[in-house]
Structure formats: structure tokens, C-alpha cells
Structure 1
Amino acid sequence: MSWLLERFFYSVTGTSMHIKNIITTRYRTGWLCHLLLLFCILSTNAFGQLSQQHVDIDIEAQPLGQAITELATQTDVLIGVDASLVAGKQSPALSGRYTPAQAILQLLNGGGLMAVETAPGRYTVKSANRETSSSNEPIKLPEVKVTGFVDPEAPGNPSYTRTNASTATRSDLPLMITPASVQVVPQAVLEDQQAIQIEDAVKNVSGVSPGFSFGGMSQSFMVRGFETGFASFRDGFRFPLATKFSLANIARVEVLKGATTNLYGRIEPGGMVNLVTKRPQAERYYALNQQFGSYGQFQTLADATGAINESGTLLYRLNFEYLNQNSFRDFGFTDRIFVAPSVTWKIAPSTQFDVDFTYKDLETREDFGIVALGNRPAKLPRSRFLGEPADKTHENIYNTAATLTHAFNDDWRARARFSYFHRNVRDPQTTGFDLDEMTGVLQRGYYRGDASTDAYQGTVDVTGRFNTVGIEHNVLAGWEYYGSFGGVQSISVDASPINIFRPQYSRQNLELLPRNFFIDQTNEWNGVFFQDQITLFDKLHLMGGGRYDWATNAVGLAFGEDQSLADAKAAVNKVNNARFSPRAGIVYQPLEWLSFYGNYVQSLGSANTAFDINGNVLKPQIGEQFEGGFKTSLFDGRLNSNVAYYHLTRKNLAVSVPGQPFSVAVGEARSQGVEVDVSGQVTDGLSLILTYAYTDAEVLEGDNKGNRLWNVPKHSGSVWARYDVPVEPLHGLSFGAGVFVQDKRPGDPANTFIMPSQARVDAMVRYRPKLMKSRLSLQLNAYNLADSTLFGGTLGDRNSINIGIPRMFVGSIHYAM
């Protein structure tokens, strides 16, 4: 195939004209470090004559790419342009009445560029130095529709459609030829739903439901029936203990399902959530977003990017968040400061160096929710808090990442990456462990851990393309190291009981007690991986490869007031694991809009980080998956879908003990089912996300053999739609609404209680008036409009059930320029 295309469409309707943009990603025969190449297909109603109308145009002097985009906004016209041609060029000011053709010629005048007709109904900006003409007369064009360079992740891009993703293969491949189920939640969805944390994004993906989140302190999810293990990823780097992430610098969220995640080392077989960050851009952009919401929510977001020097070889981006949020839960609150600067240095046309830094300061309170009473969650007020008001968590996170990329030629690229993660946390928590259901008295324990964690990760990989006997190969080979080193000095004692119906909180200050429990833990591995995707006859794509890991986990425990971290380190119990995890996939694409795929994968899970009460590391979890399905790209690529059937098994499943760092093994489990994901644009102005999952998850071995896996609904689904009003007097007005549904689900491995089925209805209204040369957005979101009683996940026991949000409202004022 001579081109690897990513097609991105969005449509909005004006008074009598339509805009359609088709954007393609980097092409195979170009330099890998070039910016995205754009082709914009020119069309009018039934490909009839283009408009000859004169319109009022007022464009200030600015970078040419921005000027072309501004012209598109003012004239509702479109033309194709290679982004590399307009990079670094300035446009003159333009004011008056022009036809669109006259306006584009004025903007290109003196810039060494020209606009030519490349095919009937299609026009492209080209370099004048590369074209010859038999006449010195200026080229005359009919009216054309104009658009500037539009990156799929560009600020303000309203499209729900994404056709490429990097998580599944560690390279940017079209989803239609990727033999795995991977879903992308783009920036437009995050903005429309005013997402604050990861859970707000992944509710738009089938087969993903909340795990236990400690009231929002952490982020854990059930993917295909299995928990992610409190580990998420950012730009492919592993973040241990999936803390309450900020989405301030996140461009999109990618969810890769199943054991196909073995490219990333020791990951739970259900899947992974990867946050892809916003990158520095050459064109300047500044945005400020202020949110106000129910229960005292106050969030300020800032985003700035642009070139540092005139040549554009140094780019920056800075994202900032301040969040102050109370809660419908008694004593609940979140106070977070987040700063994320990043710099891109284009050392040479073929070499680029990226440096990213993030800092987070978080104060909050862990919340274990409510308890089960009988065979369901206790009927308590949603605000009821069963911990202690004095328990406040304080967390600091520092993260630095660096990436060096070099393209040897058009087909071969090498990349070296490094990440350093540091976390300090003081985490007091009072949790229940035994309920007298007759009296309502809950016995509780107190645990406070002062923990420090350092994690290092490095990868080196090479990607390339070559042909052998007419067979095209896309290869990836690499090495990865990950090491996490942490120590915990803690207090673990009995706490005063509480009556769940008539709570009275203790004034006892247990923080002053001497530490009596110490943990030293090391988790590290080296892995080498290889992957080759072979293309035959432009329709058949075969993928083969795998990963070999050498993994070590060492845990040391020390009990008693006379002990220390040094004693825990001296008592380390070390376990080594080595395993090859194969991966195979196939895609057959008989038509451009239809492909069938399948995969077989094994994976080495991360469960040997878990240990029992005696400090013995549990056996590693092993995942095995068979998957098959089909993908479609309909309505000229604007609406994409993925339908998958999978059969996934997991051995040596571990469950954590509430309020303690211990875990217990429950044997082998199996999950199988069907998933449907549809997203994109249905008609002009109407965008849609539709999901459905049937998940049959069952314990196959152990004490709970035959029981359903906890936290996993058998049926779940969602529908979310946004409509952009096309009528000119209401241009800029958008409405959105959606419903998110979950079937009933067991709350613990023994299935002693069931959480009821639930549905949440959300809605949105937004108005974007034209204001000078900037973009102003006024938005209001409503969550859980029906005020239904919602439940999140459990910790796998009867004494920790998270409570979902009641009816809430969030308004925002967004200003960008």
C-alpha cells in the first residue's frame, strides 16, 4: 500500500452550504518527521456549481495556517493544503468584500504559493516554484471551499471520529487494520461531557465499568470482567497506583481491551487505559476554562502552546488545573493543583526531542462508601460517611518523561524513551470489617501509611517498513525496563466501632500512635518484544510476535513498634518469573469500509505484586485470549464501529483485603462475551456514541467456583448524542444527551449480595457565539438528571461499596484565542 491514511470527517450545516473536511495522517513516502498531510475534498450540493457570492471578510495579519482557518470560518469554503507549505509563513491583513477565490489568492500572494485545480471539483495549494505555466497571468479559480491545517487533536475539533490509535501496536496504525479492539475517546467528547477524571471518559467504552475507587481517590476499572489493578498508562508509560488523574493535559483516552496489552509488560488481561497527552504545537493557542458546579465545585483550566523561537524548532505547551470540590458525601472534598509543561525540540528534520514534566498536589479523603445489609447495599442516605472526618489524604506526584526520536529514512525510525515517577503520600483511613446486621454496629480498623514510591521506566524500539518478494512488512522490535521501589511506614490498629444508622464520630487521634507495620517492596522487569505486520494483496494483514519478560518481585514485612523499614528490607521474600507471551492476529479487509479480524494472545499479569498476610508473594496471573470480530467505516469514514466476541481466561486471580495491603488468591476465572462500539458522525451536525456489552464472567476454580465475578454487569450499554443546530440564527448552539445503563452485578466473590441495575441520564447545552477573533463557549451539563441511586464498584467484600453521584450541574465559561 503506498499510503497509510487516517480519515477524519466532520460536518456542520450552514444556510445553504455544507463543510466536509478529510484529513489524512503522515504518508508512507514522506519523511516521518513531517507534519500531517491534509487533503480536503471539495464538494457542494450534488457537486453542482460553487458559489460566486461576495462576502464580508475581516482577517488580521497572522500565521498563514491560522488565516486560512479564519477564512474558512468567515466564508464557509474549503481547499486542500499541505501543512508543511504554510508552516512559518505569515499572511497579510485582509478586509473587504471578496469572493472566496479572490480571498485565498490574496492570502497566498507573495508567499511562494499558488492554488491550482487538481481534478474536477478539487483544488490544492502548491509551491509556485515547483509549477510552470505558459502564462504569467495569475491563476483564476472558481469559488472554492477553504480549510486550514486541522490536526485531529487540534483545539476545538468537534469530531467524535478517530481512525488511528497507537496503543494497540506502539505505532500509529489505522484501526481498520489493527487486529484488536481499541476504542478512542477524543477531546471533543471530554469537552462535551466536561470530564474531570478517567472514569468520566471510559464510561463511553463498552465492557468497561468502575472498579473500587476509594471515593474517587484512585481510578480502577473492570475491563472485560477483570480489574485493571489500579494501574493506568500515560503516553504508554505505566503509572503505578492509578491515583486521581487530572485530564487537564489529556488529548484523548485510548482503551485497549484484552490480553493484547502484552506489549506493555505485566498488565491485567482485561485491558488497559492509556492517556495520550496534548503535544506542543507550532501555531499559538491560548485557552482559559472556568467551571462552577454543584456542591461547591470550582475548577480553573489553562492551556497555552506555540513556538518559542522564530524558526519554529522549539515548541512549548503548558497545562494548568486548580480544582476545589466538595462532595455530596459527608466530609468529602478534593483540592488539587496540577501543572504540566512540555517542550519539543526539532533538532533536525529527522530528529526530535520531547521533554514532559507533571506535578500534582492533592488533598482529599478516602471514602470506602457504605456496607451491604442482607443481599443488597444498605438503605442509607447517599451522604452517609462511615470513616472518620479527621482522616485526610495528602499526595504529591512528580513525573518527568523524555523521548528522542530519529528517522533514518522514510521507512525506518528509532525511539528511546525514559520516565521517572515519584510519589509521596500520607493516607489515613478508618474502614469497616465486620457488621452486626441486627444492631447496625460496624467494627472498624485504622490504617495510616506514609509511603514513598520511585518508578523508573525506559524503552528503546525500532520500527520499519520493507518489502520481500512483494510482501509488505511493518516491524517493531524493542526492549523495556520497569522498576518500582517503595517503602511504607504505617500504623495498623483497631478503631472505635460506628453505628451505620446513627453514626457518632470518634475524637480519638490515632495518628500519634507509633508506627507498627513496615513494608518494603520492589517490582521490576526487563522485557524484549517483537512484532511484524505483513500485508498481502492490500487486503490481508497478518500480525505475529510476542514478548519475553524476566520479572522480579520482592516483598518484606516487619511488625511491631520496635521494627523499621530496614527490618522489612532484611525480611524480603523474592520471587522471580520468566515467561514468553505470544501474540498473533489477522485482518481481512475485503472492502475499504469493512474488515474482519481475530487474535490469539497470552499475557503475564502483574499479580505477583500481591502478597498474602505472611508476606508470601502470590503466583503470577496468566491470561489467555481468543478474539474475533469485524469493523466498519461508514458514511465516507465518518462513522466507525467495532463488534467483538472474545473468550478470556485468567489464572491465579487475587483479591485485596479491605483496609490492608494483603491479598488472597481465588483460583481461575473466565470472561466471555460480545462488545459493540459505534462512534462518529451520523448526519450533518449529529454526532453519536453507542455501546453495548454482554459479559459472562465466572469463577472456574477455588472456593467460589461457579459464582459470577464481582463488579461485572452481565449487560451494559450507553448512548450519547450531540446535535449542532445548523440554522444560521442559532449557529453555535449545541445540545447533547445520553443514558448509561448497567445490569445488576454481584458485590463480592461469594455473591452474598447484589448491586441493583441502574441507569444514569446526562444532558448538555452549549452556545459558542462569535466574539471578535476568539472562541467563546458557554456550557451547562447535567448529570444523573433522574437523581437515581447509583453505585460504583466494591473492593470485593461487604464493607466497601462506592456511591455514585446524585443529580449534579456543572457550568463553564471557555475562552480561546
Structure 2
Amino acid sequence: MHRLFRSNRSALPLLLAFLMSFGLWAAPAAAQTTGRIAGVVVDASTGDPLRGVNIGLRGTTLGTATNRDGRFVIADVPPETYVLAASFIGYETIERTIVVPSGETTRVRLAFAPTDIELQGVEVIGRRAQSYTTDYSFVATKSATPLPLVPQSVSVVTKEVLEDQQIYRLNDVFKNVAGVTTFSGYNDYTSRGFRNQDARLINGLKAGFSFWTNPILPHIERVEIIKGPASALFANTNPGGTINMVTKKPLAAPRQAIDFTLGSYDTYRATADFTGPLTDDRTVLYRLNVGYENADSFRRLQFNESLLIAPSVSFLPTEDTRVNVDFVYSTVSTRLDRGQPIFNETENLTSTPISFSLSQPGDFMDNTNFHVTASLSHEFTDWLAFNSSYMKFRYDHDLEEHRTSNVFLPNDPTTLQLAFIKRKQTRTVDNVTNYFTIDGETGALAHQGLLGFDFLQQDDNRTQWGARGAEFFILPDGTRTPGGNVGNFSLTNPTYTIEGRNPSTYVANWFSQPWLIDPVRRRTYGLYAQDQIQWNDLRVLLSMRHEWYYDILPQGDGTTRTVEQTSWLPRVGVVYSVLDGLNIYGTYTEGFQPQAASVIINPQVGGPFDPEESLLYEGGAKATLFGGRLSATTAIYQITKQNVLVSANDPGNPERLVQRGEERSRGIEFEVAGSPVEGLQLTANYAYNNAVITEAAQPANEGDVKENAPHHMGGFWATYTLDGGPLEGLGAGAGAHFVTERNTFEESLQLPGYTVANASVFYTVNNFKITATINNVFDKTYWVGGYNFGRLYPGAPRTMLLKVGYTF
């Protein structure tokens, strides 16, 4: 897959130019002896535009479907009186008599009234929402629960936000979420002051993505972030928050969409999204998402080539039974970017350019992800239902890289000693969740009960070896140890000469881990019960989970060692409806995270270590405004976490870790999203967070602010589209996000705060939409995260993207 379609790049601009020119002349090309019908379709209760609505003229073959802005055009309509029919799943059908004069455009506005359709037990078919906000969540309670009734902060970034901001990777989502920012250039982030490197959820099931690359999102419906520990739901999770990515499900209404994007740094993208029924009775639905990207980078020697294919099928044999099957295959070919090194012990972050890299031309990293998910929902009665989901995930990783060994030559702050790593890895994850939902009443109390069982098995196997130093490796105190023939790297006179794969001159002198006959295996079993109790305007959530953790570690002599841990994980929440559209809530929940098997088995790390434990207290308010068109959430919280592993900063052994006693995070968050007036969509967030070390291995560090945990962060994004007039379909978007100063793992190195502005302009004509986006409008130099003087992660300079999309 390495640079798969590079030879076809020259054809893409010609294709894009053709599509753009076609979109501009297609509208006025209709013969003047006919007329046109143009209109918009919205949800009558929220005013949100509806995408994929079937529009047709009774007794003719003329028809179309609405685009993502709810708009449609039927061209070349003979002058006559017609019955316009519009239908969409979950809404009442609309029929309206209209007159189409010769040479004129007849404009209509259709407002659909929702029908009373019960939410699914698990998300099997696609949803109709088309806005910056959503009104429910499955992942927050493992059942379809309106977000205002969830006693915990849950942030949701919908596909409309992803599309309008042209977001393609997960780490770009976080600027839309209060209290969340990227930690580095890898697949990790900081939420409420805590670094999260854990596996991401897909449709509520744990996946096994690589830490080194970010998931791409062309097949994602929305990204949800549950703030605080979610162990009562998903066993071992990070206390700052848990990410869930919801895939696009099949729709009952047919719709097809393709788009092409080109941009700065030789960026080319293409996506396709096809969905609809496979049978006349709409009991079998399909969806196919495809995404491709080929792009260079402002970072030297860096590039990304990715391909994703994601088909899914939903089967609805009866009103009581629903089945969905998703397949997702993705590949990424790139080099591992270890960040920008700067001169040692200097506060000048621009002592080297932000494009500076230690990678060599022969370095490579190829990652492949594949997973299949099957979900079943069946209602036995109107009060008892069963839900089951299974996911099989496989990750393959092949790497050769040159990187810093975190050691500068003595008395030379401009020369780093290099290291070389060669690694192959596979990871497979089997994840099963089964639960019953039970609705009932006891006197004046209404209950929504849940009883379930989860199982997860993760197998990891890898072989790797490392070499560092030239003829000898110099420690900071001047001590010389035998080297592995890896040369030093001058930051003032860099050389990029190492070509090819698997340099044969290196001698492994750092670590070596052979491929194991039996992989490192983790198994977890969980039993849990939950009840959401309602009495008048008061709702109480009570849940308890018991989890068994087993790490099965090969010993190298044909035997294995099993490490067993167990934990009780409670969760208590309260929601009270103060007014119509205003709820206040409070929650208490505990978290648990056993140390990774890779830490337990690695002799270089320095264990054994105790598991991580956490505790959350949170309170807040959730409101719906403007007739439900706008949602707002405010949260105040405190999180404590014990037994955190951090780098020992041991130059002689970069793998060695130490354990902190306790970290504490306190803060307040605010988020708002929706469409307060027609044509305007917005999302905004702000967070204050104070995350400090309260108990440390070195008492002098107690009271220090945690790494990459800014005190303030926030942002906004808004778009406005003209409805009517000669500029109908023209719109613009603008926004910005900011982060204040952050500490790194080096006490003397702090990253400055930054504010980055973004803007876009778009035009919809017929079924074409053209979007131009500028990110980092003012070309701000900034750093999204960093570890030390050898590893900083700069943000991208000003970049531009042009996308042409067609919906049919």
C-alpha cells in the first residue's frame, strides 16, 4: 500500500475541475420552457434540516432526495399542477399540491412531524438527526437514554461538525470538546488533566487501535466522550474520559454521496457513502463507506497514505428483531513521527524549525486494522428485551524507525544520540456484551433495569529489537557503555542518508523481545446490574459491576504465569427536572485500571506496580433552549487517581517507569451546540482545569501541575447558510480554539499557549456542494503537546482544503 495511487495524482485535479464546472452550469442549463421545484425539508419540532428525504411528483418519474442541508431541486418539470410527495423513516408522509409555471422556480418548505417511534435497544439502523447536537446516547447507560437524563457529562461531536470542519482524523475532533486536548502526535489525548492512551470504543465495544496512529473517520456518524471514569460500564477505563466512535448505519431511504478533496502539502482525499434498502419491503438495508487519503506533511519526511472500506448490512425481519453487521478494513502507510527535537536545556522552541525530524528515508510504518461487529436487538414483550453485540478486532503493525534515545552528547546541546527500533506486532481483540433491559413499575416508581455480562480477550504478540549509540553510548555522567553502531545526529548539521529497510550494520544493544509461541493474553469478565428509577421529576441511577481481570504471561520456557485482579465498580447518579428543559444532576463513580501486561512482562520497566484506581464527584446542569434546537451543559467535578505510572527519566534506561501516589483534577466545563435560528449551526466549549500531583515519588514534585494539562482551553465553530434570494445556498463558517500554557516531563520546559483560527466558505447548487476551508488562518506557530527537549509536537501551519461533493 506504500504510496498506492501516487501515479494517478495528475488526473485528480482535472476530475475536480470538471466536477466544479459541471456544478456551476448545471443549474441554469434547464430549458426555459420548463420549470423547477426547489425547497428545503426540516424537522418540525427542532427546525433541523433533514437529509435523504425522498421527494417525488405523483404520476411521474421525476424525483430526488434532499442533500445534507435538507435542500432539493427537481429540474426540467413541465408546466402543470402536481402532487408533491415526501417520505422519510420516522416521520409522517407529506403530500402537497403545487403549481409549476413555465420558466419559473416554485419554492416549497416542508416541515416533517416525527412519528412516535421507540428508540432502538442497540443502534442497528441509522438515525435521522442532521445537526450539531444529538438528543440521546446509547453508550452513557448502555441503553437509549436522552442526554439530559444522563447523570454525567457526555460530549457528542456529530458528523455534521466533522464534515463542516473537514475533520479526517480523531485528534482533530477534540477542539470541539470541553476539557479535552491532544497530548502528543500519537493516538493519545488529555481529558480533564489525565492522559488517555487506552483503546477506543467502537459502538460501545473496546477496540485495539495502534497507539502510534490516529483512526480516520470517513465512516463515523459521531464521536462521543464520556467524561470521568466509565468503569461501571466498560471495566478498565481512564478516569479523564472514554471515547466512543459510532459507525454510520444503513438508512431506509436511498442516498448516495461522493466527494473529492485536494489541499496543502499535496493532500488528496476521496470518500463515498452509499446507503438504502436492498429489498422492496425495506427489511434489508445496506451502507458502504469508502475513504482514501494520500498526503505529505509540513514535517520533514512525513506522509500518510490511508485506505478505508466499511460495508454494513441491517436486517429487520420483524418489528421486534433487528440485526446489524459491520465490516471495517483500513490501512495506513506512513513513518512514525517522533516529534521535533530542540537544543538541550533551552527555552527556545524554535532553535530548530517545526519541520525538523529525526526520521530517515528508509524508515517506515505500516498499520492495518480490521474489525467485524454484529449486533442483535430483540423485544420479547413490551417490558423485556435482549441486546447482544460481538466485535472481532485485529491490528497488524510493521515498523522500522530512527529516533532519539533521549540523550544529548555531554557538553553539546545540539547533538543527540540516535536509536534504531525494528518491530512487528499483532493484536486481536474479542469483545462480547449481552444484557437484558427490563421496564416496570413498583408503586409510584418507574424502573428501567439492565442486567448484563461482558467478556473481552486481547492477545498481543510482538518481536522487536533496538540499538543505540555509535561505537559507544555515553550516559549524561560521561560513562561509556558499548554502543550499537547507530550514529549521532547533529541538530545544526542534520544528515538524512539512511536508505532501505533493516540496516544490517546495527548491533542490538538495548533490548530484544522474540516472537512468542503463546501471546500475552488478557481476559476480563464482568457482571453488572443497573436501574434507572423515576419518581415524578426525580431520576436516580444505581449500578454495580464486578470485574475479573486475568493476565496470562508467557515465561519463555513453555510455561505461563497468570496474574488475577478483581474489582467492585459502583456508580450512583441523580437527575432532577427543575423546569421544562432544565435538569440538574450529580454523580459518584469509581474507576479501575490494571497495569498493562506489556508493563508487567517487560524487565526494563522496573515493576511490579499496583493497579490504578480513581474516583469522580461531579455535578452540573443540562438545558435545552430555543424549543429544543440548542443544548447546553455545565459540569463541576473532582477526580482523584492513584498509582500513576510515569517515566523515570533514566537516560541509561528510557523504558524505566516509576509510580506516583496520587493525582487530583478539579474543574468546570461548559458546552453548547445546536441551531438557535434557521440557517445557523454552532458549537462552543470552555473548560477550566487544575490537575496537580498530590503525592509523588519525589516529594519536591508534589503540587506540580500535571504534564500537558492546561488550566484553560476552549473554542467555537459556527456556520450560516443563506436561505432564499439570489445567493441561496451560499454559506460561511468560522471558529477558533485556544489552549493555555502546559508543562512537559522536563521541569524547565513549558509549552506556550496558543489560539488558532479556522474559516470556510461553501456553496450548494442542485446536488453539488463546494467547500473551501482554511485552517490556522493567521499561520500561528504553536505546539499541541510534547515530552522533552527531544520530542515536541508542533501544530500545522496555515493549510487549505477544497472539497467538491455530489449527493444523488
For the pair 1:467 / 2:455, whether they are aligned, the reply is: no
Q: 1:63 to 1:390 in 2, by over 3 A?
A: same
Q: Which residue of 1 aligns with 2:421?
A: 447
Q: Please give the secondary structure, in 2, of the residue aligned with 1:103.
A: strand
Identical aligned residues as a percent: 27
Give the corresponding residue for 1:231: 199
Given that 2:570 and 2:589 are in contact with CA atoms closer than 8 Å, whether structure 1 keeps it comes out as: yes
CA apart distance, 1:309: 2.0
Match of 2:83 among 74, 81, 103: 103
**Secondary structure, in 3 states, of the residue corresponding to 2:270?**
strand
| Selected match of 2:690 from 692, 696, 712 | 696
Given residue 103 of structure 1, which amino acid in structure 2 is its aligned partner? V
Q: In structure 2, do the counterparts of structure 1 residues 364 and 429 end up closer, same or farther at CA, with 3 Å as the change threshold?
A: same
Offset of residue 348 of structure 1: 2.3
- Out of 701, 706, 709, the residue aligned to residue 706 of structure 2 is 709
Paired position in structure 2 for 1:300:
270
Tell me the secondary structure at the aligned position of residue 276 of structure 1: strand
- Rate the CA distance shift 1:657–1:233 in 2: closer, same or farther, 3 A: farther
Rounded Cα–Cα distance in structure 2 between residues aligned with 1:696 and 1:581? 26
Return the alpha-carbon distance in structure 1 between the equivalents of residues 353 and 432 of structure 2. Answer: 48
Letter aligned with residue 466 of structure 1: G
SS in 2 for 1:203: helix
Q: Which residue of 2 aligns with 1:757?
A: 753
Task: Say if 2:41 and 2:70, in contact at 8 Å, map to a contact too.
Answer: no
**Letter of the structure 2 residue corresponding to residue 686 of structure 1:** L
> How far 1:756 sits from its partner (Å)?
0.3
CA–CA distance in 1 between the matches of 2:162 and 2:61?
Answer: 29
Question: 1:788 aligned to 2:777?
Answer: no
Q: 2:528 maps to which residue?
A: 529
Looking at structure 2, the residues matched to 173 and 156 of structure 1 have their Cα atoms a distance apart, in angstroms, of 16
Query: 2:667: which partner in 1?
Result: 673
C-alpha distance in 1 between matches for 2:459 and 2:575: 41
C-alpha distance in 1, partners of 2:693/2:69? 58
SS state of the match for residue 323, structure 1? strand
**Matching residue within 497, 502, 505 for 2:496:** 505
Shift of 1:21: 2.0
State the distance in 2 between where 1:331 and 1:231 align: 28
Tell me, in whole angstroms, the C-alpha distance in 2 between the residues paired with 1:663 and 1:97: 78
Q: Tell me, what secondary structure is at the counterpart of 2:230? A: helix
Deviation at 1:581?
0.9
Which amino acid is the alignment partner of residue 735 of structure 2?
Answer: G
What is the number of residues matched between the two proteins? Answer: 705
- Taking the aligned partners of 1:258 and 1:802, their CA distance within structure 2 comes to 26
Query: How many Å separate the matches in 2 of 1:505 and 1:514?
Result: 20
Q: CA deviation at 1:424?
A: 1.3
Question: Residues 152-551 of structure 1: matches in 2 within 5 Å?
Answer: 158-214=130-186, 219-240=187-208, 241-242=210-211, 243-371=213-341, 373-374=344-345, 376=347, 377-432=349-404, 433-436=406-409, 438-494=412-468, 495-507=486-498, 510-512=502-504, 516-518=512-514, 520-537=519-536, 539-551=537-549
Aligned to 1:814: 805
Q: How far off its partner does 1:752 sit?
A: 2.7
The amino acid across from 2:261 in the alignment is Q
Cα distance in 1 for partners of 2:264, 2:641 equals: 41
Letter of the 1:684 counterpart:
E
Q: Extract unaligned runs of 5+ from structure 1.
A: 1-15, 25-35, 39-55, 76-92, 114-122, 128-142, 558-565
Query: CA contact under 8 A between 1:397 and 1:421: conserved in structure 2?
Result: yes
**Aligned 8 A contact 1:58 1:94 in 2:** no
CA contact 1:291–1:811 (8 Å) conserved in 2:
yes
Q: Secondary structure at the match of 2:232?
A: helix
Partner of 1:429, secondary structure, is strand
Name 2:732's counterpart in structure 1: 735
Give the Cα–Cα distance (whole angstroms) in 2 for the partners of residues 754 and 396 of structure 1.
Answer: 35
Cα separation, partners in 2 of 1:156 and 1:325, compared to 1, 3 Å: farther
Q: Letter of the aligned partner of 2:443 in structure 1?
A: V
* Matches of 1:629 and 1:69, distance apart in 2: 33
2:726 partner amino acid: P
Is the partner of 2:294 in helix, strand or coil? strand
Say if 2:230 and 2:238, in contact at 8 Å, map to a contact too: no
Residues 745 and 67 of structure 1: CA distance in aligned 2, closer, same or farther (over 3 Å) = closer
The answer to whether the 8 A contact 1:268-1:606 is kept is no
User: In structure 2, how many angstroms separate the alpha carbons of the residues matched to 1:553 and 1:400?
Assistant: 25
Aligned match of 2:551:
553
2:625 matched residue in structure 1: 634
Look up the equivalent residue of 2:774 and give its one-letter code: A
**CA separation in 2, counterparts of 1:155 and 1:165?**
12
What TM-score, normalized by structure 1, do the two folds share?
0.80
Deviation of 1:700 after TM superposition, in Å, equals: 1.2
Q: Following the alignment from structure 2 to structure 1, what is the Cα–Cα distance between the partners of residues 166 and 546?
A: 41
Cα distance between partner residues in 2 of 1:438 and 1:352: 66
Give distance in 1, aligned partners of 2:229 and 2:194: 11
Instruction: Indicate which of 766, 769, 773 corresponds to 1:777.
Output: 769
Q: CA–CA distance in 1 between the matches of 2:320 and 2:78? A: 39
Counterpart mapping for 1:563-578 below 5 A: 566=556, 570=559, 574-578=562-566
Q: Secondary structure at the match of 2:265?
A: helix
> Judging changes above 3 Å, is the alpha-carbon distance between structure 1 residues 368 and 283 closer, same or farther for their aligned structure 2 residues?
same
Q: Quote the offset at 1:154 in angstroms.
A: 7.1
Q: Is residue 42–residue 112 contact of structure 2 (8 Å, CA) maintained in 1? A: no
The CA deviation at 1:343 is 1.0
Q: CA deviation at 1:397?
A: 1.6
- Paired residue secondary structure (1:700): strand
C-alpha RMSD over aligned residues:
3.4
2:43 to 15, 18, 21: 21
Give the corresponding residue for 2:718: 721
| Shift in CA distance, 804/230, structure 1 to aligned 2, threshold 3 Å | farther
What does the per-residue CA deviation read over 1:276-323, in whole Å, with 9 as the maximum and x for residues that have no partner?
110011221111110101001011101111112222211111111111
The question of whether the paired residues in 2 share the 8 Å contact of 1:608 and 1:617 is answered with no
Does the alignment pair 1:579 with 2:567?
Answer: yes
Q: What one-letter code is carried by the residue in structure 1 that aligns with 2:229?
A: A
Q: How has the CA–CA distance of structure 1 residues 670 and 679 changed in structure 2, closer, same or farther, with 3 Å as cutoff?
A: same
**1:637 partner SS:** coil
**Matches of 2:68 and 2:791 in 1, distance apart?**
52
